[in-house]
Structure 1
């Protein structure tokens, strides 16, 4: 090497990005925050620096869960007394370091894992859905905000099977001898655990949940061809519809207007009454009481619709051999 030249190692050390976080025992939020940062091209090959020394941390390019500062640029800590940041005005859960990193970099992180452009409006849909599906729970857990009212007594413990519980179990036991190198190794395991679940979730929502949402939205928008008041939605391919239906009703300002869903189960066709909410067994408009518990030819004779298979005793679902028959059942049920 010529005198005065910079060695390749020296160049690498000068350009190597550093992610700073606290040393010692670790939690799910910073484990995930660090992993999410490393999904970004800028931090892909970065070194994770775990320390409690302010000068060492300030030499890093970005710092999470330590230093008592939040500026949205370099410092992403949430432990300050005055800290009250949430994901958006629609959410009440205070952010942890995971939520902070996701809030600022989430769209870019999602784009790094699935093929979606930054200007695509669906990216905003995914960004908000993934926060509510996973990140918010990490934020709430780390900040001690329960998902349930205080007066609810759990029937059993779920701590060991939650992600924060699994991360906690990777910390050394109280009577275990360990050094900083061991803690760093365990933190890396925790980060990969959290990150693996997160990446799988992003891919599921991007590749399965989002296409399903598009199908449900298109079916809702074309529903008036089956009923002038738009109370029947027909799916000509199987799709997971229930969660999307309620979200889209709110988005389109048509809450409570859809009564029946007609779809194929792969063998025949079904007409299902929409529940009053996603978790309820009570239907907005159950199938007619005289039809309930009746099957096969007796059902066809009763309804005047060929191909009858059954109507459940509660009236929440019925079946017909054909699409036309199931649709006629839904249309006739509206008249009761």
Structure 2
């Protein structure tokens, strides 16, 4: 396989150039990386990232520091080198899945672009992934080699990118499963999943009637969980019955007359039982309360 030369700038590095290299290594495993600002070397590289003053995807030039930048998304977030790489190679990196590539751009890629370009509107405060990547740079008190530190950061970013892709694929698959469960529900207020599947975004998007979710937990119990009024909210569309709050085991079993009831959280948003039949009885009680 032909070796590709990837060029990026030397010295201090950021999340955009680190993730750009990590992304390209997903599809071009046989690469030679050079970190330089020598234009003679840069001009000979197959792919140039975050340096060179040119954006031309046809010739694999992906800089955004030139006058006028390299464009922006419809939401106003400018492209950094990572976003430019993702525009051309994102679908290929995600094994041909456009929906997965779009999901990563909407979250990971656009956030890194926003931070790199100083577009702070809508970016969460606190320690960011971009800051975490920057921590791989040697401090002023260290004599570490910048290129070696960059390689460490790329390895870290590669592992993260793999997990972001897996999570996005999982979310897309979960959406179809939960949508089918909503469609098949005997009572639109109660949605039953045959196995635990991330459900909140899909339920809020597709069902205004759903009050409770039922699903098996990893521990083997069956769970009933309330649907929040909106994603991230601690307020529920309908809490579990007040009399259940904080009860567990024998006390809970005696209170509701179900001999394998296990617990109800004091916050009245989740409860469990050992069998499916019992959790459905609990769901009926909750709906009628």
Match of 1:129 among 103, 113, 123: 103
**Which residue is 1:222 aligned to?**
184
Change (3 A) 1:283 1:66: same
- 1:264-300 CA deviation, whole Å, 9 max, x = no partner? 3344432211112232221011123455456212212
Change (3 A) 1:165 1:321: closer
**Which residue is 2:212 aligned to?**
260
Aligned residue runs from structure 1 range 13-162, under 5 A: 16-40=3-27, 43-73=28-58, 74-83=60-69, 85-86=71-72, 88-89=73-74, 91-111=75-95, 118=96, 123-146=97-120, 158=127
Alpha-carbon offset, residue 101 of structure 1: 0.9
CA distance in 2, matches of 1:34, 1:274: 41
SS of match in other structure, 1:282: coil
**Which residue is 1:246 aligned to?**
201
SS of match in other structure, 1:68: coil
**Which residue is 1:322 aligned to?**
275
CA distance in 2, matches of 1:292, 1:202: 39
Q: Is the 8 A contact 1:262 1:272 kept in 2?
A: yes
Aligned residue runs from structure 1 range 200-239, under 5 A: 200-206=163-169, 208-223=170-185, 225=186, 227=187, 230-237=188-195, 239=196
CA distance in 1, matches of 2:264, 2:132: 45
Change (3 A) 1:255 1:67: farther
Question: Are residues 1:191 and 2:154 paired?
Answer: yes
CA distance in 2, matches of 1:268, 1:105: 43
Q: Which runs of 5+ in 2 are unaligned?
A: none
Q: Is the 8 A contact 1:76 1:97 kept in 2?
A: yes
Q: Is the 8 A contact 2:114 2:123 kept in 1?
A: no
Q: Is the 8 A contact 1:299 1:309 kept in 2?
A: no
CA distance in 2, matches of 1:197, 1:308: 40
SS of match in other structure, 1:39: helix
Change (3 A) 1:317 1:34: closer
User: Could you state the TM-score of these two structures normalised by the residue count of structure 2?
Assistant: 0.80
Change (3 A) 1:63 1:324: same
CA distance in 2, matches of 1:177, 1:299: 66
- 1:288-316 CA deviation, whole Å, 9 max, x = no partner? 3455456212212xxxx775555444432
SS of match in other structure, 1:94: coil
Alpha-carbon offset, residue 33 of structure 1: 0.5
CA distance in 2, matches of 1:314, 1:166: 34
Match of 2:227 among 274, 277, 291: 274
Q: Is the 8 A contact 1:292 1:312 kept in 2?
A: yes
Q: Tell me how large the CA RMSD over aligned residues is.
A: 3.2
Alpha-carbon offset, residue 30 of structure 1: 0.6
CA distance in 1, matches of 2:221, 2:138: 56
Match of 2:237 among 272, 284, 291: 284
Comparing 269-278 with 316-325, greater Cα deviation is found at 316-325
- 1:26-55 CA deviation, whole Å, 9 max, x = no partner? 222112202211222xx4323223222334
